[in-house]
Structure 1
């Protein structure tokens, strides 16, 4: 049997025995890499990064001086918080939406953050 045949059966067995969240994370990770984006788990503080993933949550956090829109992007490997300062809402930025974001990685409270990232809304198909 060839290596590709063995790989097929291994992937099939994994799909049959994995839970839905694990399979979804694998699909997100594969889509991210296929688009040319970096895996969030490989991004480091201070590095210019492009990440692609699905928004898990979107929250408006009022602060003393200005509102802040925050969204958690998950690419199948790790989460990155996207923060838009001075924004209450951005059309298209909603939970479940897939986006590609670009900016410089920072770390806040031990979590990776992109402040005021450039972003592209992705088609869901």
Structure 2
């Protein structure tokens, strides 16, 4: 058995014994790296970043001043909250959708946040 076969066997055993969410996180992390995005866990507050991941949740957060649309993006390493100020809905921004976002990383209540990020909707993986 060659080293290549051992690698294949190891990957097969891992796929059979790993949690589905863990495998999905690994796949998302590898895909975002291949697309030139940074890992969310490596991003620091104040940096210009590009992150790619899947939207876990999207919700309208009405306030007295203005509504905001908030979404949780997960790239396989860590979550990032995306906040669009003054928006109630954005076509294509929905749970389960994969997007690439760019903006300046900030922190709110200890969580990573991107305010009004530039975004690109990604086509589904076949």
Q: Could you say which TM-score interval applies, normalised by the shorter chain?
A: over 0.9
**Residue 78 of structure 1: aligned partner:** 78
Q: What is the DSSP-based 3-state SS (H/G/I as helix, E as strand, rest coil) of the residue aligned with 2:60? A: strand
Counterparts of 1:7-86 in structure 2 under 5 Å? 7-86=7-86
Structure 2-normalised TM-score? 0.95
1:110 aligns with: 110
Q: CA deviation at 1:84?
A: 0.2
Residues of 1 paired with 2:79 and 2:99: CA distance? 13
For residues 91 and 70 of structure 2, the distance between their equivalents in structure 1, rounded to whole angstroms, comes to: 13
Unaligned runs of 5+ in 1: none
Gap runs ≥5 in structure 2:
none
Residue number in structure 1 paired with 2:100: 100
In structure 1, how many angstroms separate the alpha carbons of the residues matched to 2:102 and 2:95?
19
Displacement of 1:105: 0.4
